């Protein structure tokens, strides 16, 4: 049963009476959230429809926030791994002591230029 605007009634979308699916990606969920907000902003809904859309929007927003936090944590871990890898590399370089090798003697005095 469609509403006056030809849109499916609240809860009759891709996942009726369900929150966001764990399989849905951030972009899909965010798109659904934008559509939900747009429908609320259009107005002309009954109180029950508005409340149902608001609840759906809150579930979508919560899931989007969870996905963003997971992505942020992953980036932080990658940065930490990269930084610790650089630290290990720096320690290895700092521990390196070259064997005492004599400096090569220049073929000419520093005040003189070589002749061609």
What's the whole-model pTM score?
A: 0.58
Q: Is residue 97 part of a domain?
A: no
Task: Tell me whether residue 81 is in a domain.
Answer: yes
Number of domains forming the structure of the chain: 1
CATH number at residue 53: 1.10.287
- CB-based burial of residue 39 (10 Å sphere; 0-12 exposed, 13-18 middle, 19+ buried)? buried
Range of the domain at 68: 26-92
The string of pLDDT tens digits covering residues 47-73 is 999 999 999 999 999 999 999 999 999
Taking the C-alpha atoms of residue 11 and residue 34, their distance in angstroms, rounded to an integer, is 16
Q: Each residue of 83-105: pLDDT tens digit?
A: 887 766 666 655 556 666 666 66
């Amino acid at each position: 049963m469609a509403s006056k605007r030809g849109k499916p009634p609240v809860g009759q979308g891709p996942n009726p009476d369900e929150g966001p699916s764990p399989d849905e990606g951030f972009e899909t969920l965010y798109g659904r959230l934008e559509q939900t907000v747009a429908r609320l902003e259009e107005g002309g809904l009954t109180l029950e429809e508005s409340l149902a859309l608001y609840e759906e929007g809150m579930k979508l927003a919560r899931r989007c926030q969870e996905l963003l936090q997971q992505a942020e944590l992953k980036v932080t871990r990658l940065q930490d791994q990269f930084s610790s890898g650089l630290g290990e590399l720096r320690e290895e370089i700092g521990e390196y002591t070259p064997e005492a090798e004599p400096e090569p003697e220049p073929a000419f005095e520093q005040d003189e230029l070589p002749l061609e």
